[in-house]
A = this chain, B = another copy of it.
Amino acid sequence: MSYRIVALLALCASTLLSQQTPSGTEAELNALRAAVKASQSAGDNAWMLMSSALVLLMTGPGLALFYSGLVRKKNVLGTMMQSFVMMAVITLVWFVCGYSLAFGEGSRFLGGLQYLFLNGVGAEPNADYAGTIPHQTFMVYQLMFAIITPALIAGAFAERVRFGAMILFCTLWTFIVYFPAAHMVWGKGGLLNAFQNGPIPVFDFAGGTVVHITSGFSALVCAIYLGKRKGYPVEPMKPHSLVLSFIGACLLWVGWFGFNAGSALAASGLATSAFVTTHFASAAGAVSWMLAERFRTGKASALGAISGSVAGLATVTQGAGFVAPYAGVVIGFIAGIVCFYMVTVAKNKLGYDDSLDAFGVHGVGGLMGCTLTGIFATRTVNDALKNAAGEPLALGWVDGNTTQILNQLAGAGIGIALAVVGTLVCLKLTELVTPIRMEVREETEGMDLTLHGEEGYNFEA
């Protein structure tokens, strides 16, 4: 708070002073400058605090509802807990060393330890990341991303993974996959950081690679490694409450504004632009998935509509602040169709049991989004990258930069490799400590009773 107050006091002082001196002195101007800085910070901070809250809302209750509605009644709490426990555990990890490993200055692959226990992360902005908001705001905003990413994976092992093992796995995964990925793409000096001289500059506005590719491909590995749910695909395993999933999906849509538009790190025109592409992609994804269903099965379903919107959102994440509104529509439209195909046709053919389609939506969506960003990114939307003369650089194919798509693919490749190898390592490490899968009897009885000793619904009078 201090610098705000100082600024205001200075402003007041200068107001008083100025009644004595005939014209604007240097002191007055400096006071004004400080006041303007404080007021710029207030506007940007208002938006970023709100965005942080929105991204947390995405995990709980958003994702928790989306996922838990899709499982059977006996697993509703267990599935919710997989999201919730990330909100709790990853927060503590972030506090201790996570933020430092992701955003500290370190190697090209991982941050250093200077921010251990958030040492030195205070109200002063960190100009490397966001020059107008408190460093702590940036820290807590990024924390919300670190929470939701492993929570997304949980979609792949829902209905069959033990609680303790899930926590252990996800915590390990955060260290082995997330922190490196975040550092490489967004961290100071990171290998893929386009804005800080990374040797392979990748445009990832809000985490298409960092969040969706990593979690999606990790989910695929988990789903295959763990094997199918008992009874799959013979026993019926209908979503127990699409009503919950629907609420969750709407909250994801709304929360995603914090995720994508918040990634502008300021309440700027760029934030608005990301907001718009995000919204358009979600809408287009819902429409195209519904159309695909309509043609294939004759009926557009509610589950289809919300899945399409989530697919659109996941896919536009990477390009949100780089592409024009029309591109948001195009990206969303492609996302809806491709993810529909993955989830309804390809998955059944390949035969793995990714219960909640974390791979089909986030993995595939993330990968497409990464690529499409290389095509649609344009300096008319984002002019932050400049050449020596201060002119904005061409970004994607539409700007005439036909090679960026290679960088994007390289980034995606690195993300996928990291996710696959890292996930296997984490699974093995976890198994050294504790069995991952529930016993058959536990799976039959359900997670709620066997893992948590509760039931989601007690509707008897």
User: In the complex, A74→B56 CA distance in Å?
Assistant: 32
Are the CB atoms of B458 and A257 closer together than 8 Å?
no
Q: How many residues of A contact B (CB 8 A)?
A: 138
- At the interface, yes or no: A45 with Cβ under 8 Å from chain B? yes
Docked pose: A358 CA to B272 CA in angstroms: 32
CB of A429 within 8 A of chain B? no
A87 to B253, CA, bound (A): 10
Whole-angstrom distance between the Cβ of A218 and the nearest chain B Cβ: 23
Taken together as a complex, chains A and B put the C-alpha atoms of A8 and B431 apart, in Å, by 53
The 8 Å CB contact of A247, one of B61, B137, B297, B305, is B61
A309-B134 in contact (CB<8A) = no
Which residue of B26, B60, B258 is within 8 Å of A18 (Cβ)? B26
Chain B residue at minimal CB-CB distance from A78: B302
Instruction: Flag whether A292 is at the interface (Cβ < 8 A).
Output: no
Interface flag for A105 (CB, 8 Å): no
CB-based nearest B residue for A125: B269
Q: Which residue from B78, B91, B243, B298 sits with its C-beta under 8 Å from A244?
A: B243
Specify which chain B residues have a CB less than 8 angstroms from the CB of A8 in the assembled complex: 40, 131-132
| Residues B299 and A137 in contact, CB atoms below 8 Å apart | no
Q: Contact flags (1/0) for A42-83 with B, using CB distance below 8 Å?
A: 111111011011101100110011001000111011101100
Nearest residue, chain B, Cβ from A273: B136
Q: State which of B68, B87, B264, B275 has its C-beta within 8 Å of the C-beta of A283.
A: B87
Q: Is the CB of A15 within 8 A of B33?
A: yes
A243 contacts across to B, CB distance below 8 A: 68, 76-77, 80, 244, 456-457
Q: Cβ of A258: which chain B residues have Cβ within 8 Å of it?
A: 53
Interface majority SS (helix, strand, loop, mixed), chain A: helix
Using a CB–CB cutoff of 8 Å, the interface residues on chain A facing chain B are 1-5, 8, 11, 14-15, 18, 22-26, 28-30, 32-33, 35-47, 49-50, 52-54, 56-57, 60-61, 64-65, 68, 72-74, 76-78, 80-81, 84-85, 87-89, 91-92, 95, 117-118, 122-123, 131-134, 136-137, 139-140, 143, 163, 238-244, 246-247, 250-251, 253-254, 257-258, 261, 264, 266-273, 275-276, 279-280, 282-284, 286-287, 290, 297-303, 305-306, 308-309, 325-326, 329, 382-384, 448, 451-459, 461
A-B contact pairs, 25 of them (CB 8 A): A4-B268, A32-B32, A38-B40, A42-B268, A43-B43, A45-B47, A49-B267, A50-B50, A52-B257, A53-B54, A60-B254, A61-B247, A80-B243, A84-B302, A85-B286, A87-B283, A91-B282, A133-B272, A134-B269, A136-B275, A140-B276, A143-B279, A240-B457, A302-B452, A303-B454
